[in-house]
Structure 1
Amino acid sequence: MGYFSMLLLLAAGTSPPGVEGNWLTDDGKGVVQIAPCGAHMCGRIARVLDKGPGVPASDINNPDPKLRGQPILGLVTLSGFSRDGAVWKDGRAYDPKSGRSYRASLRLNPDGSLKVTGCVLFICQSRRWTRMR
């Protein structure tokens, strides 16, 4: 968002756009719906677009054997995010492909895409998700 756009938002008394909505993942294999869950923001798998052979319908890689039967559709993959200015931080991202969870943050890019960053210790990786209309 440019300086002039930010001034217009401030003058209008509105806040910058939020992360709520449906987002196409960077690999194009799913859509995550981000919405409030209590006082935080969370994301659930809203659609599975990967229909190839061997695509699991349940969370088979979950480290907890009791949770491996839960369906992928509706699975919470983002949880606990709190807004701090233009960043949603202190959240967790769960990757059902690996069964691992990461410390995570969310930030809107100037082009309207979403930067999803996951970290283990001091090593972080970011992915770019695209808002679905």
Structure 2
Amino acid sequence: MLWIPIIMACGIAAVAEAADIDGQWSRGDGNAKIRIAPCGADICAVNTWIKPGTPSEKAGDRLVMTIKRDSDDMYSGTAFDPQRNLTYRITLSVKGNDMTTRGCIVAGLICRGVHWARLN
């Protein structure tokens, strides 16, 4: 399942605020790579590579995030997954080249965290 910050956008946050999360990221399990960048007024995380044999994800899947910066290294808001028609509550913590995303559904009862490493 695509959990980008469940990864990661923004009617509220300006594009400049997204600078810390913009770029290429590799998921901690090595099964996916994403590109995070502004897409209109939001921020999109798009799968650029998925490990072959991963049944629920494919390259090109995207997550549209409406997030705001809470502090120097924290973002929060919502993320919409159009492939699954699901909306998540999401938080992102970015420290240098490391990012942790946490997405929740069902009023916060089901959550999942994912670690990401920035690619050069």
1:84 matched to 2:70: yes
Q: TM-score, normalised by structure 1?
A: 0.60
**What residue in structure 1 maps to residue 91 of structure 2?**
105
**What residue in structure 2 maps to residue 75 of structure 1?**
61
Among 38, 45, 51, the alignment partner of 2:40 is: 38
Q: State the Cα deviation string for residues 8-57 of structure 1 (Å, max 9, x = none).
A: xxxxxxx8961000111122111110001122221011112x124xx34x
User: Whole-Å Cα distance in 2 between the matches of residues 93 and 24 of structure 1?
Assistant: 20
Deviates more, 1:99-108 or 1:114-123: 99-108
1:118 matched to 2:94: no
Shift of 1:101: 4.4
More helix by share: 1
User: Whole-Å Cα distance in 2 between the matches of residues 130 and 78 of structure 1?
Assistant: 20
What is the number of equivalent residue pairs in this alignment? 100
Unpaired segments of 5 or more residues in structure 2?
1-16
SS at structure 1 position matched to 2:20? coil
| Paired AA for residue 107 in structure 1 | S
Residue identity over aligned pairs, in percent, reads: 25
Distance 1:108 1:122, change over 3 A: same
Q: State the Cα deviation string for residues 92-123 of structure 1 (Å, max 9, x = none).
A: 164x7xx45421121203x5301101113234
Among 21, 24, 34, the alignment partner of 1:22 is: 24
Contact 2:63 2:80 in 1 (8 A): yes
More strand by share: 2
The CA RMSD measured in Å over matched residues stands at: 2.9
**What residue in structure 1 maps to residue 52 of structure 2?**
51
Q: Max radius of gyration: which structure?
A: 1
Contact 2:88 2:104 in 1 (8 A): yes
Unpaired segments of 5 or more residues in structure 1?
1-14, 60-71
Contact 1:40 1:82 in 2 (8 A): no
Higher relative contact order (CA 8 A, sep 6+): 2
